[in-house]
Structure 1
Amino acid sequence: MATSRYLIGNASSFCTKTPKCSRIASRHLSRAFSTTPNVQVAPVSLASQDAQASLTYCTNLVRNFDGPAYSLSHFIQPHIIPAYMAIRAFNIEISRIPDIVSNTTIGQMRHQFWKDTINKTFNANPPEEPVATLLSAYMQDTGIRLNKTWLTKIVSAREQALLRPGFTNISELESYAESTYSMLLYLTLSAISLNSLTADHVASHVGKAAGIAAVLRGVPLLAFPGAPNSHSNNPAGMGLPMTRDRQRVVNLPLDVMSQCGVREEDIYRNGGNAEGLRDAVFAVATRASDHLITARSLVKEVNSYQEPSHEFEHLYDEGHEYGSQNTDTQQPQEVRKRDLQQAYGVIMGPAISTQLWLDRLQKVDFDIFHNSLRIQEWKLPIVAWWRNRQNTF
């Protein structure tokens, strides 16, 4: 951090011949030895005009660029909608950085801007940015303090993906999904003041499934970045013009590609007809499906008062502090069931959305380039409504 420097001299030595110069010198002395007053930032309420304008901005951003999240917001508790929209809008702003910057250096600057924005927001001094204003207002009005670490992890994971696209192995892909999509669910759960090991455990698996599916959806877009991005009902570049010639990337895990005999050059030449590509997509999609199956199994175990079949993998990660209940088995069964019921609306949506897309992928025999995979899932609201009534996903 740069050190502030002041040049403080003997002002009376500049000029002492006239009363006017003496008065000027006196003013300089007063300024040199005065103390800068502390500036108190007035808290912003959710009812304020600025917060309401920020909510409108974030809602429109989610509606236009993340249709599934907007549709599923109807199953979120109404009182956390401002936090939900701010968190989802934050994710959109971070994820579209690669599409709006001319090079990675500028991309890093944008990521640093968001890290600084997070710090200022949690210091009750948010910049004039809609996401920051809305998050600050929500925390101010409700007294609920979201986890700054999780927000920062999302930015760092996206920045790393910008600097080094692709994944060495499928475990690296899962780690990326945990650091992005699972973090979004943790943040949303914390917005309802739910600090539940069980809920976070289920959310972790759902988030990993959603993150892996998102990476699969991006395969055609990164392999052929000049093609229109009609995927997930988003226009090209998340609605913004492409400002750089993006390098072709195949973001399937390298270990899976090697096992299935897939070569990048073959994908660039033949697209979905590349040898071994469907097998590789199947292997990665199976891992996403496995996480959804595990999440459902956990819910079933909790609802039937059984002990969880395995512990939460990220139990000791930063941000997951649960007091005396350090393991799933130490949590009273009634408490676990109650927590899941409270978290259902948050977790159910991404699980259903991901499952529907995986079902469509299976119907086209894992042809990741099939045009039907780029069409918005019109059944999502209906299926979500029905599953909500059944309390399943």
Structure 2
Amino acid sequence: MTKAIRSPALVVRAFNVEISRIQDQTSDPQTAAFRLQFWQDILKKIFVKEQVFQNIPANPIAQELFKVSSAYSLSKRHLEKLITSRRDLLQTKLFRNLEDIEKYADDSVSSIYYLLLSVANIANVHADHAASHLGKAQGLANILRSVHVANHHKTVFLPMDILMKNKVSQEMVLRGVNTDDMKNVAFEVASRANSHLEKARNISVPKLANQIFLPAIAVDSYLKKLQKNDFNVFDKQLQQTNALLPFSLYFKRVLNKY
């Protein structure tokens, strides 16, 4: 990213990482809820009018977020969505359909892009529209990428209606059973993700927004790799690092595309 927005963008993403990894740090829903509430309380303190730095808890992310929110007028609503979306998922522990995942992705992923657009001082309806589609594409891809660790969390986040339609049980997913029916499930989710990705890329956005939307390259790379592996989400090749991704990102950055 351009140096001017690199640091505040890092703070926004650091805050999101801190929130998103809470469910990985504890298996106790109540403990996770307490930690999410801790960050909810910090946001309230950050956005108190005429708040001073000394009143912010001695947490590096909280303190940096206070500085960035003051300097760039970050949206409290989008920051709160990063918390509430995770809290809601802890309570439901499943997605009924693709629309549920899209709603979750819009709150937990698109919100990050809205915040980064705000940091870059981009107030553009087309950029917001692209951010919404890209967030949904990334969120759906993340659901597919998380399947191989479902057994670790004892939780399946694939949409229940598609699993039922293809007669795939949660137990089969947890055991990593790859069948044609399981491939059909992955195909449906991946197709919706690819549709959102194409819609995002077809929207003309301000030049600086192209840098913010560069994660689209990683989403596209995963979806193509999944297709190449016949939609077998359990294939170990999908878990390997893409050594060419940094070069792809740099190339697209030079071309100012995503």
TM-score category, normalised to shorter length = over 0.9
Closer, same or farther in 2 for the Cα pair 1:117/1:365, shift >3 Å? Answer: same
Report sequence identity in percent.
34
State the Cα deviation string for residues 260-283 of structure 1 (Å, max 9, x = none).
Answer: 2212223344x1424511110010
Instruction: Give the structure-2-normalised TM-score.
Output: 0.93
State the Cα deviation string for residues 204-254 of structure 1 (Å, max 9, x = none).
Answer: 1111101111111111212x10xxxxxxxxxxxxxxxxxxxx4x2221101
What does residue 56 of structure 2 align with?
126
How far apart are 1:103 and its partner, in Å?
Answer: 0.8
What does residue 341 of structure 1 align with?
207
Q: What amino acid does structure 2 have at the position aligned with 1:340? A: P
Number of residue-to-residue matches in the alignment: 253
d(CA) in 2 for partners of 1:368 and 1:267? 10
**Contact kept? 1:272, 1:368, Cα under 8 Å:** no
Structure 1 residue 210 corresponds to structure 2 residue 138: yes
What does residue 57 of structure 1 align with?
none
- Give the secondary structure class of the aligned counterpart of 1:369: coil
Closer, same or farther in 2 for the Cα pair 1:266/1:342, shift >3 Å? Answer: closer
Q: What amino acid does structure 1 have at the position aligned with 2:198? A: I
Residue from 100, 103, 107 that aligns with 1:172 = 100
d(CA) in 2 for partners of 1:157 and 1:96? 13
How far apart are 1:106 and its partner, in Å?
Answer: 0.9
Aligned-residue CA RMSD in angstroms?
1.5
d(CA) in 1 for partners of 2:209 and 2:39? 28
What does residue 158 of structure 2 align with?
252
What does residue 190 of structure 2 align with?
285
The 5-angstrom pairing of residues 262-277 of structure 1 reads 262-269=168-175, 271-274=176-179, 276-277=181-182
The 5-angstrom pairing of residues 116-195 of structure 1 reads 116-123=41-48, 124=51, 125-140=55-70, 142=71, 144-195=72-123
**Contact kept? 1:272, 1:367, Cα under 8 Å:** no
d(CA) in 1 for partners of 2:74 and 2:218? 25
**Contact kept? 2:46, 2:66, Cα under 8 Å:** yes
What does residue 354 of structure 1 align with?
219
The 5-angstrom pairing of residues 229-244 of structure 1 reads none
Residue from 32, 48, 61 that aligns with 1:107 = 32
What does residue 11 of structure 1 align with?
none
More helix by share: 2
d(CA) in 1 for partners of 2:167 and 2:27? 34
Closer, same or farther in 2 for the Cα pair 1:368/1:139, shift >3 Å? Answer: same
What does residue 9 of structure 1 align with?
none
How far apart are 1:187 and its partner, in Å?
Answer: 0.6
State the Cα deviation string for residues 271-318 of structure 1 (Å, max 9, x = none).
Answer: 14245111100100110000011112223xxxxxxxxxxxxxxxxxxx
- Could you tell me which runs of 5 or more consecutive residues in structure 2 were left unpaired when the two chains were aligned: none
- Give the secondary structure class of the aligned counterpart of 1:385: helix
How far apart are 1:102 and its partner, in Å?
Answer: 4.2
d(CA) in 2 for partners of 1:205 and 1:129? 33
d(CA) in 2 for partners of 1:208 and 1:340? 20
Q: What amino acid does structure 1 have at the position aligned with 2:30? A: T
Structure 1 residue 390 corresponds to structure 2 residue 255: yes
What does residue 237 of structure 2 align with?
372
